[in-house]
Amino acid sequence: MKKVVICASRFLLKEAKEYKRKLENKGYAVIRCPQLIDQDSLEAYQTTHIEHYKKIIESDILFILNIEKNGISNYIGPSVFAEIAFAIGLNISLGKEITVYCLNPLPEELSYSEELKSWKELGWIKIWKD
């Protein structure tokens, strides 16, 4: 059973839970999903991120829930961009085999859209077809 970590904006918790259920119904093991973080507690912020990145290391699939947010189609925020870069870094430097899937096509209007496009052209990011 493939282990999946879902990455998305913290403002998309409802949608992330919906996709968690959909993926589990298809036989995937979702080992981490976005969570609400107490923004007033630096300790909680740190703990949540440490746990999340450790789960990325364990995963087979990084599932990017890139849906519309604040009027931006297929949004990928800076934290999710960092998570993608982390998974790609593990793959190319340590030989991990984490497949990075985006639910939708890549966003075109973000400051790092060109980087995402290059990663897709290199095969480091794929668009979900399931």
Give the model's pLDDT for residue 62: 98
pLDDT band at 130 (very low <50, low <70, confident <90, very high): confident
pTM to 2 decimal places: 0.94
pLDDT tens by residue, 10-54: 889 999 999 999 999 999 999 999 988 777 789 988 999 999 999
Number of CB atoms found within 10 A of residue 101's CB: 17
Q: Total domain count for the chain? A: 1
Task: Domain of residue 64: give its range.
Answer: 3-127
What is the Cα–Cα distance from 73 to 87, expressed in whole angstroms?
23
CATH number, residue 36: 3.40.50.450
Q: What percent of the chain has pLDDT over 90?
A: 85
